[in-house]
Amino acid sequence: MGILLLALFVLGPFALGLVWKAPRMGRGVKSTLVLIIVVYTMATFYLTYQIGMIEYQELQKLGDLMNQVGGI
Q: What is the pLDDT confidence band of residue 71, given thresholds at 50, 70 and 90?
A: low
What's the CA gap between 43 and 51, in Å, rounded?
A: 12
Amino acid at 71: G
- H or E segment to which residue 69 belongs: helix 27-69
For CA atoms 24, 27, 31, 36, give the dihedral sign.
negative
Residue 66, number of CB atoms within 10 A of its CB:
11
What pLDDT shows up at residue 10? 87
User: What is the pTM (predicted TM-score) of this model?
Assistant: 0.74
Task: Write the pLDDT tens digit of every residue in 14-59.
Answer: 888 888 888 888 999 999 989 999 999 999 999 999 999 999 999 9
